[in-house]
Amino acid sequence: MKILFYNTYRTLVILFLVTFLFTCSPEPKTSQNELLALLVASEIANNTKTNCPSGNLPSGIPIAVTIVSANSNVSGFNDSSKAVNGICGGGELSGSLDVYALNLTGAGATLILSWGGKTVKNVTGLDFIVYENPFRVTESSDRYAFDPMVVQVSYDGTIYCGFDLSGFNPSAADSNKISSWPGFAGLRPVLYNMSSNPLSLEQLFTSKGNGFLLGGGDGFNIDDLITNASCDNTALTNIKTSGFKFIKMTSASAITNPNTGSGYVYPHSYNNGSDIDGVVAKSVE
């Protein structure tokens, strides 16, 4: 899990800095202690993100609130309520811990949510945003630690339509670049945090260019849905006209790539798939 990788990395950095301060600094011990306190305080602030979630969902933000199906057995991160209790993004360079982690394959690799019987409408521009917990590797890098997922939606909970994944064809050298994963979710860092960075619905759907949004996450347009083996033209037209009630998110590694006959693979050293923070729709009724 990339959140464990991130925390391990930060812990090593903190330990190195603490060791350096106490062995190499010529400054008085009081100054060392002050610096150590700042480091610890910074670490705590980064991980807690002002205690998000607060327990109350923000008004006017249509967050998916109903768990339809969840079967993950990822130790420590298999509480599916974390996927519907609000968005607690960790920012550009860190991933949230308030997430529901999917398995890499099998039944636990899929999560299905809904809006409590409401329908996500097809409106102008992007219609919904999926929030995972990716983060940029370094401030100067264009590489990201992410767990891509495949997104599908359904009106009746039976027939699901998805997005075009045919642009996937990364080499080993660029497989952790966002541009290598068109049509997938779980790619862009989550900046929206209900406690420390509250944003309006309009702000969440405001573009920063190149597929990035003001609040982060990955946005999708119902008009971009395509037919597939399980979604014919009738089902597709119905969703584009009437909207959808259910959203299915599956770890990319559990979805067969028709070009290889195996799951979509990506560079990671984790033992689970996507870490889902939540989903926000632009308009529901």
181 with 159, same domain: the answer is yes
Considering the domain boundaries, does residue 248 fall inside one?
A: yes
Are both 226 and 212 inside the same structural domain?
A: yes
Q: Assess if residue 1 is contained within a domain.
A: no
What pLDDT, on the 0 to 100 scale, is given for residue 140? 84
Considering the domain architecture, whether residues 34 and 61 belong to the same structural domain is answered as no
| pLDDT score for 51 | 87
Q: Please indicate, yes or no, whether residues 56 and 188 belong to a single structural domain of this protein.
A: yes
Question: Within this chain, do residues 12 and 61 fall inside the same structural domain, yes or no?
Answer: no
At residue 278, what are phi and psi to the nearest 5 degrees? 155, 180
Amino acid at 2: K
Same domain (yes/no): 41, 69: no
Matching residue, tokens 């998805």: 162
85 located within any domain: yes
What residue ranges in 100-196 does DSSP mark as E strands? 100-101, 110-114, 128-131, 135-136, 144-145, 149-154, 161-163
Least confident piece of the model among 2-6, 31-35, 178-182, 204-208: 31-35
Same domain, 181 and 72: yes
> Mean pLDDT in the chain?
85
Helices and strands, counts by H and E, the chain: 4, 17
Please tell me whether residues 39 and 164 are part of one structural domain.
Answer: no
> Which domain, by its residues, includes 32?
8-46
Query: Is the domain of 159 the same as that of 274?
Result: yes
* Residue 110 within any structural domain of the chain: yes
Please tell me whether the peptide bond between 148 and the residue prior to it is cis, using omega within 30 degrees of 0.
no
Distance CA 274, CA 256 (A): 16
Residue 222 in domain: yes
Do 62 and 172 lie in one domain? The reply is yes
Give Cα separations from 50 to 10, 81, 90, 154, 197 (angstroms): 19, 19, 11, 35, 10
> Percent of the chain having pLDDT more than 70?
81
**pLDDT of 22-69, one tens digit each?**
334 333 333 334 333 333 333 434 444 568 998 899 999 999 999 999
Q: Which residues contact 41 (CB under 8 A, 6 or more apart)?
A: none
Smallest Cα–Cα separation from 131: which of 263, 249, 283, 2?
A: 249
What is the per-residue pLDDT across 68-119, written as a single tens digit (0 to 9) for each? 999 999 999 999 999 999 999 999 999 999 999 999 999 999 999 999 999 9
Q: Do residues 25 and 75 share a domain?
A: no
144 and 187 Cβ atoms separated by less than 8 Å: yes
Measured CA to CA, the distance from residue 135 to residue 178 in angstroms comes to: 11
268 in a domain, yes or no?
yes
Q: Are residues 147 and 19 part of one domain?
A: no
* CA–CA gap between residue 108 and residue 280 (Å, rounded): 22
Strand, coil or helix: what is 217? coil
Tokens of 38: 């700042």
| Residue 3 counted as domain residue | no
Number of domains in the chain: 2
